[in-house]
Structure formats: structure tokens, C-alpha cells
Amino acid sequence: MSERPHLVMEVPRRGKPPRHFADLTPQERVDAVVALGQPTFRAKQVATHYFDHLTVAPGDMTDLPADEREALASALFPPLLTSVREISTDKGKTIKTLWSLHDGAKIESVLMAYRDRVTLCVTSQAGCGMACPFCATGQMGLTRNLSAAEIVEQARLSAAACRDGAFGKPTRLSNVVFMGMGEPLANYSAVLQALRTFIAPVPNGLGLSARHITVSTVGLVPAIDRLAAEGLQVTLALSLHAPDDATRDELVPINAKWKVDEALDAAKRYFDATKRRVSIEYALMRGINDHGWRADLLAEKLLSRGRGWVHVNPIPLNPTPGSPWTASTPEDEREFVARLAAHAIPATIRDTRGSDIDGACGQLAIKEAT
């Protein structure tokens, strides 16, 4: 394996994507249409097309004056995402899309249909600066932050695809997880604006339930506290992967800055502020972090902070090319969960949808240079 990437806290400055309707707050949308010489009520009409009809095509906007549709749409909806490739797997229940951004940067999102929900895994940054050595995106380094609209567009286009039968019959996008490429809390303001837009009722936003949205983080403690104070009911997931600092220092480089106990304290404060049960993400790696005693130590650390505030999501590692780590055996996985259960810590093994198309957790990286 080549030399490990380094942890990057400074975001590279690159050309910003053009300003888009979905970057704006509802008041800014009104200001934007007025600046285009339109009456204020246009903002609601335009928002209805975008968030309710999920369209940016001027031809669909028949309630706007015919000779102004084109100009309005091109001013408010500059194209941000172009689908380059779509790959489907799991009998058509998982669809990964590779998107090209305005500057040629590439990102991916993954749409997964379940019996009772449809979940979109969104990307918040092109690449990632957190340098976790077992994660494919972590190996790419950070290219740039996405804008709020680049995040919202992943959801708008996915919601339209669901409605239009991407899974064989019309479905509804119901859940969003920030578990695609990037560290969402390192792109705080764009992610917050995207969250508010996901949650705002139609036509001000996509009308998703906050409780159906999960923000996953390596554990940027000040940003966790900031998010806790926003008054949103979104779920926090903390990528812990080890209960001891020696191992976590290796697996999650940000642990050099915020230790296991500090990250867990912040997660508990998040629960206290929101009453939303926190998820602890734990990628099981054979012989690295999957020992029974580590399950006991994890349980002990969680219980020392209270009961009923947390849920553990172990997932077998999806090994990335060149990775020295492999997934735990099913027996070790079962033992790990059983140990947690013995301490009355709820744990559910997370599924590994899309692993054969490099669409599973931690496998999102851009392979081709076409």
C-alpha cells in the first residue's frame, strides 16, 4: 500500500459551484426571484416545481409566463450534478450513481430500497480529509466541500427516480444517511443548510422526517455540540470503531485530537440535548478490534454514561483494495454482539448492501478516470 494520506483539517479552496435555488433559505428565495424582476409569489411557484414536482425543466413550469421560464430556470437551477453512470445490484434494490460536478469532480450516492423504506446515502464532500486507513474515500484525500445544493440535488434527483419507478414501481425516498463520501461535520454550514432543506415541509423543502435522517461523523467534538444546539431531531452516528485510544488512534486519525472518551461524552451530550438515540458505528476487523474484551470495554464505557441513550451498529469491514485489514468472521461478529447484549447494550449488525459494486460503506471512491 502506498503511504497513508494525512489528516487534513483545512479545506482546499476551489472554484465554488454556481449558486442554486437549493442553497437559499426560503426568504433568500423570495429575494432571488425579486432580484430577477419577478413578483414575490413566484418563489412559491418555483419552490413547488423543485421540491414537490422534483423538476427543474422550464417546460414543466406551465404556471410561469412562457417567455420567462427559460431565463428563470437557468438563473435559479444551474446544472450541478450530471449522472455519469448508474450501477444496480441486490436484485435491483441498490442503485449507485456516479455524478460529475460542475468542475469535473466526481462523487457517488447510493439508493437502497427496503420493505418499509427507501434510504439514500449522500455525499457531503468530494473526497475526505479524515484519512481513516480502512476507508476507500479516506485514501483519496479531500478535493473540496460540496455546496448545500449539491447535497440537496442528490436527494431531489433520487426522490424523482423513486417516484419514476427506479425500483420497478413508484416508491418514496424516506430516509437519508450522511454516510457517503466525506466528513459531514467538516462541511458544517452546507450540511446544516441541506438538513434544514430536507426537513422543511413541501414546498419549502423535501418534507423528510428529521428522525429519518442520520449524520455520521468521525467525532468532531465542537461540531457535534454545535449540531446538538440546532434543535433538529436528526440522528447522530459516531464512527467509533474501537473503545481504546491505542487502536482508535490507528483507525480514526482524528482520535489524536479528540479521544474516545471525549467523543463519547459529546455523543452523550447530543442525546441529552435531542433525546435521539445515538448510533455507534463499529466496523469489525479481524484481529484488530473484534475481540470479546473490546466489546466488554465498549459496553462499560457506554454504560458509564447512562442507559438507553445509545445503540451499537457493528458492520463487517468491507475490505478496500490493498487494505491489510479483513472482515471479522461471522462467529466473532456474533460473539461481539452477544457480549454487548449481555451488558444490555442494543446492537444490530448493519447490512452491507452494494458491496459487489463498491457501493457499500467505506467503498465509495472513484475508480475510473474516463
- Write out the catalytic residue numbers: 108, 361
- Closest approach of ligand SAH to the CB of residue 333, in Å: 12
User: Closer to ligand SAH at the Cβ: 123 or 171?
Assistant: 123
Which one, of 370, 358, 356, lies nearest residue 108 by Cα? 358
Which one, of 105, 223, 96, 225, lies nearest residue 161 by Cα? 96
User: Closer to ligand SAH at the Cβ: 161 or 218?
Assistant: 218
User: Closer to ligand SAH at the Cβ: 46 or 223?
Assistant: 223
240 contact partners, CB below 8 Å, separation of at least 6: 219, 248, 252, 260, 263, 264, 280, 281, 282, 298
- Closest approach of ligand SAH to the CB of residue 175, in Å: 14
- Closest approach of ligand SAH to the CB of residue 270, in Å: 14
- Closest approach of ligand SAH to the CB of residue 269, in Å: 18
Site residues, ligand SAH (CB under 6 A): 130, 134-135, 179, 183, 216-218, 239, 281, 283, 315, 317-318, 320, 361-362
Peptide bond into 201 cis (omega under 30): no
Quote the cell numbers at residue 279: 448510533
C-alpha distances in Å from residue 281, one per residue of 68, 95, 218: 49, 23, 9
Judged on CB neighbours under 10 Å (0-12, 13-18, 19+), 342 is exposed
- Closest approach of ligand SAH to the CB of residue 193, in Å: 18
Rounded to whole angstroms, the Cα distance separating 21 from 343 reads 49
Which one, of 104, 207, 103, lies nearest residue 152 by Cα? 207
Give the count of beta carbons closer than 10 Å to the beta carbon of residue 193. 19
Query: 283-307 burial by CB neighbour count: b if 16+ within 10 A, else e?
Result: bbbbebbbbeebbbbbbebbeebee
